[in-house]
């Protein structure tokens, strides 16, 4: 199977500071990939490069075999959707109207809403548990609900590649789990290739088929969760001691931070 999106030897620099160094990544249809790394490791920059917002200093990015910036705007939006870190606040519209913006790439030159558009918006609202808030203004709902509206808009867009930059940052545990369930379902049923940047090591091990661990702008490890999420890799990337074992209910890798031993306390 060919990857839907691929990056090879990607480098990026702000001024004289290297942000990304020789990054390789492949996103495959039907697969959820999780991008991990501490703050400042380059996750957001990499997502902006993969989505065509930024151009790499060196290296290549190909979306369906072509550079992202070579696509006309509408065609690009039908292929790739991106969700940033900051949920919208000042959009003067309802939740439903905001989610419906995701249908723009599928509408004709003169616009107009079709029954397919309405069905996809309703589906996205249901999947993100926002149907009851469809008539509320974005300014009247919580940050977590606005974040879910942003994810719903990306779902309504119907793209084959989804790039999500810390989409669960404002969500409680129930909605974090619901988010991963939705993305997994989209990958399995619609063949979506999803990349999710996250700080939630244990949840990503439950749902991510592939993990990419960034550290200091380079890929420290990538592969199956059990290969990447080891005490040694986590210590090297994050500077903390953890224990890694198996969730007794699911068998997935479980990462537990270890409390630092107070001075003078013997083992």
Per 3-state DSSP, the chain is made up of helix, strand and coil in percentages (nearest 5) of 40, 25, 35
pLDDT at 119 over 70: yes
pTM of the model: 0.90
Residue 264 in any domain: the answer is: no
Residue 12 in any domain: the answer is: yes
* Burial class of residue 239 (count of CB atoms within 10 Å of its CB; 0-12, 13-18, 19+): exposed
Span 55-112, pLDDT tens digits: 999 999 999 999 988 899 889 999 999 998 777 777 789 999 999 999 988 876 556 7
Residue 263 in any domain: the answer is: no
Residue 253: CATH number of its domain: 3.40.50.300
Span 148-200, pLDDT tens digits: 999 999 999 999 999 999 988 888 999 999 999 999 999 999 999 999 999 99
Residue 265 in any domain: the answer is: no
Interstrand relation of 32-36 and 161-165 (parallel, antiparallel or unpaired):
unpaired
Residue 39 in any domain: the answer is: yes
Range of the domain at 182: 5-257
CA distance 239 to 149: 34
CA-based nearest residue to 165, from 27, 54, 35: 35
Residue 108 in any domain: the answer is: yes
Q: Look at residue 84 in the predicted model and tell me its pLDDT.
A: 83
Residue 266 in any domain: the answer is: no
pLDDT above 90 coverage of the chain, percent: 77
Q: Is 241 left (phi over 0), alpha (psi -120 to 50) or beta?
A: beta
Number of compact structural domains in the chain: 1
């Amino acid at each position: 199977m060919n990857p839907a999106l691929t990056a090879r030897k990607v480098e990026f620099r702000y001024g004289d500071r290297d942000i990304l160094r020789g990054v390789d990544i492949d996103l495959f249809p039907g697969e959820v990939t999780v991008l991990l790394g501490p703050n400042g490791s380059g996750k957001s920059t990499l997502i902006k490069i993969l989505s065509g917002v930024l151009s790499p200093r060196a290296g290549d990015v190909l979306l369906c075999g072509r550079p992202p910036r070579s696509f006309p705007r509408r065609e690009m939006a039908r292929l790739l959707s991106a969700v940033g870190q900051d949920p919208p606040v000042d959009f003067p519209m309802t939740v439903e109207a905001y989610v419906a913006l995701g249908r723009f790439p599928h509408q004709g030159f003169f616009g107009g809403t079709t029954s397919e558009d309405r069905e996809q918006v309703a589906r996205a609202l249901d999947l993100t548990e926002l149907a009851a808030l469809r008539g509320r203004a974005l300014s009247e709902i919580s940050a977590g609900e606005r974040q879910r509206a942003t994810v719903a808009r990306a779902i309504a867009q119907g793209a084959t590649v989804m790039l999500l930059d810390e989409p669960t940052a404002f969500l409680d545990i129930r909605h974090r789990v619901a988010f991963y369930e939705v993305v997994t379902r989209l990958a399995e049923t619609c063949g979506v290739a999803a990349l999710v940047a996250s700080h939630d090591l244990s949840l990503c091990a439950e749902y991510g088929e592939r993990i990419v661990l960034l550290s200091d702008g380079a890929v420290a490890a990538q592969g199956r969760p059990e290969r990447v999420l080891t005490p040694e890799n986590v210590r090297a990337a994050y500077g903390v001691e953890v224990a890694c074992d198996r969730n007794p209910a699911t068998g997935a890798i479980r990462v537990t931070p270890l409390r630092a031993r107070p001075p003078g306390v013997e083992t």
